[in-house]
Structure 1
Amino acid sequence: MRPQRKRRCAPVAISFLGVGVNDDIAALLQEYADLLSITGGDAFKVRAYERAARAVGGHGQDVSQLDAKQLKAIPGVGASIADKVAEYLRTGKVEAVEQARAKIPAGVRELTGIPALGPKRALLVYEELGVDSVEALASAIDERRLRGLKGFGPKSEEKLLHGIELLRAATGRVPVDVATELAQSLVARLSEVDGCVRCAYAGSLRRRKETVGDLDILAAAEDSGPLMAAFAEHGSVAEVIGRGATKTSVRTTDGVQVDLRVVPPAAWGAALQYFTGSKEHNIRTREIAVRKKLKLSEYGLFHAKSGRRIKVETEEDVYARLGLPWIPPPLREDRGEVEAAQKDELPRLVTEDDLRGDLHTHTDLTDGLDSLETMVAAAKKRGYAYYAITDHAPDLRMQRMTKQKMLAQREQVAKLDAKTKGMKLLHGTELNIGPDGSVDWPGDFLAAFDVCVASVHSHFDQPKDEMTRRFIAAAENPHVHIIGHPTTRKAGKRPGVEADWDAVFAACARTDTALEVNAHPNRLDLPDDLILRAREHGVRFSVDSDSHSVPDLGNMRYGVGIAQRGWLTPDDVINTWPLQKLRRFLKR
C-alpha cells in the first residue's frame, strides 16, 4: 500500500520511499488546493483538487507512464487536472501553481498548517498585520496585536498558541504509515545481507505509536561490517551522520534519522527488549532484574556478581528470566503491564486477523475515489465476512447527498450483495452530529439502515459542556450505532475537541453505542489514552478504515496498533464478532 503523503505547501521533492512521481504530483495538487483555499477560491474547485491529489497519490501505476486518456480515467482527474499533470511531467512545473504561489508568501502558506487558524484567517493576519511566519504570529499574539482584528480575541489567541505548539511538536515527527514503509524497506534489504542472523525495527514504531521521531533498526550478526556498508549505501540515505562497528546513523532524503545497531546473536533478546522501550518500561524491568541479582542492559543479561553473560536469544528468554510472560510491545508504557504480567492477567490483544469486517467506508457517491463495486471487490480480497458502505448524509452539503441518491445506492448494494459470495454487504451512512446533537435524517428513515456512524464534522470550537451534551445526545439516539473519529483530531492539523470524556464514555456504555478507533494514519482516533479510559466504562469499539479509496483499506493495521496500545481484546471490538452477534448489537 502506498502511504498517504503529509500535506505540504513547499515545492515538491523526490520521495525517499521511491514512490516518486505519483507522490510529487499529489503534493503539488494538494498545494494548489491549499493556495486556492487561502485566496478564497471556489470551495468545490478546492475539494476537486484535494480529491485528485488523493487519487493520484494512491494510484497503483506510475502516472508518468500514462497517456491523457489513462490519466483522465483516474477517479477525480478531469481534463483540466490531467492537463496540469501532463504539464508537470513535461516541464517540471505547473504555471497555474506558480502564479498562485506568487500571490501568497511561503510563510503564509505555512500558517495554514496551524490548527484553529485556517486559510482565510491566515491571509487576514498577513494582509492586516504583515504576519508572514509562525514565529511572527506568535509574536503578534504576545503583543496582543490580533485583538484589533475582527473575529480575534483572548479565546482565539489561546487556541492559536495551542495550535502553534501542536505544529512545532509535529515538526520532525514521521507519521506511522510513512515510518512503517521506510522501516520495512530497510529491514528487508538488511535481512538479505550475508551474515545477518536477525533484523527488525524497534523503538516507538514497534510499540505502534502514531508518530515517531526517528527510526531504530536492530540486527544480529557476528560481523557488523557488511550490514553497516549495506545500510549506508541504501537508496533512501542522503547523509551518513556517524558510522562505527556497532552503530551507524543516517539521514534519509526526506530528513528522517535512522539508527542501525548490530549486536551479537547471543545478545539479540536483551537488545531488542531494550531498544523497543519505552524508557519507563525498561526501568521497571531493570528493577526486577536487580531484585533477582541480575543486570539487564542493551548489551545483554548478566549475573550481577560474576558478570557472566546469560544467553538470551529472544525477548521471551529475557522476560522468562525475569519471571514474566512476554509482554507485547504496544503495552510497554509502564501503564500497568508489568503488574498484569506478574498476575498472569495480560490481555489477549486484538489483531488484524481478528477483524471480520469494516464498518465505516466511502465510495465515489460522496467524497470517496472508487466506485461501490471496486471497493466491495477489494474488501472481499481481504477476506472479510461483512463490509459496510457508509457514505455521507446531507448535512455535509459539499457531498450533495439526498434521500433519492441514498435509496438508489441501497438498491445497488442489495443487487451486489446477491452476487457477492462469502461476504455480507451492509448498507449504512455516516451522519453528521449537529451542534445540538441532532443528526441528518429522521428516525423513520434511519431505521432502514444496517449501520449508522455519527461523527462531528463542524463547530469544533464549542465550549466543553456543549460539546459533551452534543456527543451524549448522539449516543442516546437509538439509530446511532457508532460514534466516528470521536475527538475529530487530525495529526499536525487540528487538535481534538474538548469534552467531558468520562461523561461521554458513560453515556456510550449505557446506550450500547460503540466508539470508533479510526485507522487513518492522520486520525488514529480515539487515541490510546482515551481508549483506556473508555474501556474502564465498559464501552465497545469498532476499528474502521474510514476508507475513501482502495489503498485506504490497508490502513486497518494502524488502527489495530492504536487499539492494542489501548489494551483492547477481540471481545471489545464489535467488528471482530460473527455477523449474527454483530447484527444483534446493531438491532439493540
Structure 2
Amino acid sequence: MARLNDEVAALLDEYADLLTLTGGDAFRARAYTKAARAIAGHGADLAGLDGKGLREIPGVGKSVAEKVDEFRRTGAIQALTALRAQIPPGVREMTAVPGLGPRKALTLHRELGISTPAELRKAAEAGRLHDLPGFGGRTEQNILHGLDLLQQSSERTTLDVAFDVADEIVAALAKVRGCRDCAYAGSLRRFRETVGDLDILAAAEESGPLMDAFVALPLVTDGGEVIVSGPTKTSIRTARGLQVDLRVVPPDAWGAALLYFTGSKAHNIRLRTMAVKAGLKLSEYGLFDASTDAATEERIASATEDEVYAALGLPWIPPPLREDRGEIEAALEDRLPTLVTVDDLRGDLHLHTDLTDGIATLEEMLATCHARHYSYVAVTDHAPDLVMQRMTDEKMLAQRERLRELAGRYGRMRLLHGTELNIGPDGGVDWPAEFLDGFDLCVASIHSHFGASRDAQTRRLIRACENPHVNIIGHLTTRRLGRRGGIDADLDAVFAACARTGTALEINASPQRLDVNDELIRRAHQAGVHFSIDSDAHSTVQLDNPRYGVGQAQRAWLTPDAVINTWPWQRLKRFLDKDAKNAKGSEKAGSKPK
C-alpha cells in the first residue's frame, strides 16, 4: 500500500502543475513542488503527524499543511478540485509526456484541439506541430520519443515502488499459519531496472489460508481488484495498476519453483536443455528422471535452488546473473564472480543537503550515514551554474567549515567536502581551478543541453573526464526512467577517456535513474573503468538507494574491487588524490574561467 506521503506528494505536484497551466504565480508553484519533494522524502508517515509535526517538514508552510490536513480528513483537496475544473479534459494527461510541459500542452489544445496522447501522436506523425509558437525543428521527433517513453513507463514499475509492494506482501504472508516459505521472484529478484508485474511465491501444504490472506491485504481492499483467484494462483491489481501474482507450491517443490519463477526465460531454457542432455526433465515441480513415466517418475531434486543446480552440475547462480549472458559457461568453468553487495559499500560519494535541493540538513544526512556504519561520506551539493540552486562561493565555504567543526561527532566516519559540478555545453565546469583545489572530491554531471549533437555530447564528456579535479562522472546518460531518454554520445569513447584519465563512472542508484544501466556498466568495465555506487540522495530516506545501484552492478558482474567506495579510505584517498593528475591534462582542461 502506498504511503500517505507519496499520495500527498503526487497531489501537491499536480497542484503545482495546474497552477502553472492556469497562469498562477510561478514562485508559488515551485513552493508546492518543493513541498511535495520534502513530503515524499520525509522519514515519518504523515498519518502519524499532527499540525506541528507537519510544519516541521522543510518547505511545508501553513497553506501546504492545511491542504495535507484537509486530505487526511476528507480524502480530497478542494483547491485542487477547483483547479482541475479549469483545465480542458486531457490537457494534464498530455503533460505526462516527457518533454512536453504544461504551457505547450495548453497550446496544443487551443491551437489544434488535441486532448489525448493518441491525438498528439497522430498530429506529430503528420508533421502538424513544428509551425506552432514555441515548437522547434525536432519537435515531432522529440514528442514521438516522449510518447514512447510514456507508454513504456505506464507498463513498467520502478524498483522502489515494486520492492515496497513486494516487501509488504511477503511480510504479511510469512505470518500466515502454515506458510513455510515466502519470497518474491521474477524480474524483481533479478533486479531488472523496472518490472512489469510482481511474482510472489509461497510454500504451504494448504493454499487456502494464504490465498484468503492475499486478497484481504490493503493493497487489494483499498482500491485494488482481484483479477483471478484459484487454489494455486491468485492475481490482483493494486490501485496504482501493478499486477501481483501469488503462487502457492508444496514445500518439497520450493526450490524448483523459486528457480523457475525467478527466470529469466532464456536462463531457464538453458537449464532445461542441460537437463534433457543428461536424461532429465526440469520443471517448476522439480528435476526428474526422464526415463520414468508420469505415474512413477523419480524426482531427483526440488527442495532448494542449490540442490537443483547441483544436480545439473552447477554451483548456485545469483539471480541478477540469470540472463543467459555467459553465466552458465562461467559456472561450469568455476568463473562466477564474487559480486559486490550492499554490505561491501564503505561510503556514499554523492548526496545533497538543504543547502541546495535536498530536504534534510547536513547533520541529518550525516547522522543517517553514520547509522549505516559508513567509513566515509562525501557531501556534494550543487555548484553555481545550476542557477536555481543559488549556490555561492560563500555558502560552499561555510559548509566546508561546518564539516570541519563536525569532524569526530560521527565516530570515525570521515567527512569529505565535495560538490556536484555542472558539465557545460563545452565540457567546462562551474568553478576555476583554484577554487576546485579546496574540494576533497568532485562529481561532474550534465544537467542541461540534453539535445546537443552526438559529437558535441561526446566532446563535453571527454573534456570533463580530462579535468584534473573531476573524480567521478555522475549519471552519465542523464536519463530518467519513463520521463527522459539518455543523451546521444559515443559512450565507448567516453569509457576509454574515463579509463585513461582515472575518472570513475557513477552508478547512480536513484531508482528513477539507475544511470548507467547494467549493459553499459559491463562495457565500461571491459574498457578498464572503475565505478562509484552512489545514492544521489536528497533526503535521509533516499540514502537507502544504494541497494538498487548494487543490483545493477551485480547484473553487470561487478566485484567489490571495481567499485571505489568499497575500498578502504587510504586506497580511495590515493585514487582521489590523482597521483597521475598531470597525465590528465593541464589545469585549464575543462575548467571554466570565473
TM range (shorter): over 0.9
2:181 equivalent in structure 1 = 198
1:59 equivalent in structure 2 = 42
Q: Check if 1:186 corresponds to 2:169.
A: yes
CA drift at 1:70: 2.8
1:280 equivalent in structure 2 = 266
Q: Check if 1:159 corresponds to 2:142.
A: yes
Paired letter, 1:212: V
Give the 3 Å change call, closer, same or farther, for CA 474–41 of structure 1 in structure 2. farther
Distance 1:191 1:482 in 2: 42
Q: Check if 1:144 corresponds to 2:132.
A: no
Gaps of 5+ in 2: 579-594
Which TM-score applies when normalising by structure 2?
0.93
Q: Check if 1:79 corresponds to 2:62.
A: yes
CA drift at 1:436: 0.7
**Residue 572 of structure 1: which of 545, 554, 562 is its match?**
562
1:466 equivalent in structure 2 = 456
CA drift at 1:105: 2.8
2:91 equivalent in structure 1 = 108
1:562 equivalent in structure 2 = 552
Distance 2:66 2:136 in 1: 44
Distance 2:478 2:357 in 1: 17
Map Cα deviations across residues 345-392 of structure 1 (whole Å, 9 max, x no partner). Answer: 111111000000000001000011011111111110010000110000
Gaps of 5+ in 1: 1-15
Taking the TM superposition and a 5 Å limit, the aligned residue runs for 1:438-453 are 438-453=428-443
Taking the TM superposition and a 5 Å limit, the aligned residue runs for 1:227-242 are 227-237=210-220, 238-242=224-228
1:303 equivalent in structure 2 = 289
2:109 equivalent in structure 1 = 126
Q: Which moved more, 1:159-168 or 1:406-415?
A: 159-168
Q: Check if 1:253 corresponds to 2:239.
A: yes
Query: Residue 419 of structure 2 contacts residue 441 of structure 2 at CA under 8 Å; is this kept in 1?
Result: yes
Give the 3 Å change call, closer, same or farther, for CA 335–46 of structure 1 in structure 2. farther
SS in 2 for 1:290: helix
1:5 equivalent in structure 2 = none
Query: Residue 39 of structure 1 contacts residue 123 of structure 1 at CA under 8 Å; is this kept in 2?
Result: no
Distance 1:106 1:438 in 2: 44
Map Cα deviations across residues 33-90 of structure 1 (whole Å, 9 max, x no partner). Answer: 2223445655543332222112222333343554443322111112332233334345
CA drift at 1:229: 1.9
Distance 1:114 1:523 in 2: 17
Paired letter, 1:270: A
Q: Check if 1:353 corresponds to 2:339.
A: no
Map Cα deviations across residues 226-276 of structure 1 (whole Å, 9 max, x no partner). Answer: 222222222212322222222122222332211111112222111111100
Q: Check if 1:429 corresponds to 2:419.
A: yes
SS in 2 for 1:428: strand
SS in 2 for 1:323: coil
Taking the TM superposition and a 5 Å limit, the aligned residue runs for 1:503-514 are 503-514=493-504
Distance 1:194 1:571 in 2: 44
**Residue 525 of structure 2: which of 535, 549, 565 is its match?**
535
**Residue 200 of structure 2: which of 214, 217, 227 is its match?**
217
2:590 equivalent in structure 1 = none
Distance 1:44 1:282 in 2: 54
Distance 2:217 2:329 in 1: 42
Distance 1:45 1:521 in 2: 28
Paired letter, 1:431: L
Q: Check if 1:176 corresponds to 2:183.
A: no
Give the 3 Å change call, closer, same or farther, for CA 86–232 of structure 1 in structure 2. closer
2:12 equivalent in structure 1 = 29
Paired letter, 2:245: D
1:268 equivalent in structure 2 = 254
Query: Residue 544 of structure 1 contacts residue 556 of structure 1 at CA under 8 Å; is this kept in 2?
Result: yes
Q: Which moved more, 1:302-311 or 1:29-38?
A: 29-38
Instruction: Give the aligned CA root-mean-square deviation in angstroms.
Output: 1.7
Query: Residue 44 of structure 1 contacts residue 398 of structure 1 at CA under 8 Å; is this kept in 2?
Result: no
Q: Which moved more, 1:321-330 or 1:106-115?
A: 106-115
Distance 1:245 1:329 in 2: 27
1:8 equivalent in structure 2 = none
Paired letter, 1:462: A
Paired letter, 1:252: T
Query: Residue 300 of structure 2 contacts residue 311 of structure 2 at CA under 8 Å; is this kept in 1?
Result: no
Query: Residue 42 of structure 2 contacts residue 540 of structure 2 at CA under 8 Å; is this kept in 1?
Result: no
Query: Residue 189 of structure 2 contacts residue 262 of structure 2 at CA under 8 Å; is this kept in 1?
Result: yes
Give the 3 Å change call, closer, same or farther, for CA 38–473 of structure 1 in structure 2. farther
CA drift at 1:113: 1.8
Give the 3 Å change call, closer, same or farther, for CA 64–337 of structure 1 in structure 2. closer
2:324 equivalent in structure 1 = 334
Paired letter, 2:407: D
CA drift at 1:120: 2.8
Q: Which moved more, 1:414-423 or 1:460-469?
A: 414-423
1:315 equivalent in structure 2 = 305
SS in 2 for 1:196: coil
Map Cα deviations across residues 297-342 of structure 1 (whole Å, 9 max, x no partner). Answer: 1121111111321132111111111111111101111111111111
SS in 2 for 1:216: strand
Distance 2:432 2:302 in 1: 62
SS in 2 for 1:467: helix
Number of equivalences: 571
Query: Residue 12 of structure 2 contacts residue 33 of structure 2 at CA under 8 Å; is this kept in 1?
Result: yes
Query: Residue 40 of structure 1 contacts residue 120 of structure 1 at CA under 8 Å; is this kept in 2?
Result: no
Give the 3 Å change call, closer, same or farther, for CA 44–362 of structure 1 in structure 2. farther
1:11 equivalent in structure 2 = none
Distance 1:555 1:117 in 2: 28
CA drift at 1:577: 0.4
Map Cα deviations across residues 261-300 of structure 1 (whole Å, 9 max, x no partner). Answer: 1112222111111100011111111111111111111121
SS in 1 for 2:303: coil
Query: Residue 130 of structure 2 contacts residue 139 of structure 2 at CA under 8 Å; is this kept in 1?
Result: no
Query: Residue 204 of structure 1 contacts residue 278 of structure 1 at CA under 8 Å; is this kept in 2?
Result: yes
Distance 1:452 1:138 in 2: 42
Distance 1:267 1:88 in 2: 47
Distance 1:42 1:548 in 2: 25
Overall identity of the aligned pairs, in % = 63
SS in 1 for 2:444: strand
**Residue 280 of structure 2: which of 290, 294, 316 is its match?**
294
Distance 1:106 1:63 in 2: 31
Give the 3 Å change call, closer, same or farther, for CA 251–583 of structure 1 in structure 2. same
Distance 1:104 1:204 in 2: 39
Distance 1:351 1:316 in 2: 20
**Residue 482 of structure 1: which of 450, 460, 472 is its match?**
472
2:516 equivalent in structure 1 = 526
Give the 3 Å change call, closer, same or farther, for CA 180–92 of structure 1 in structure 2. closer
Distance 2:214 2:43 in 1: 28
Distance 1:585 1:106 in 2: 55
Give the 3 Å change call, closer, same or farther, for CA 577–552 of structure 1 in structure 2. same
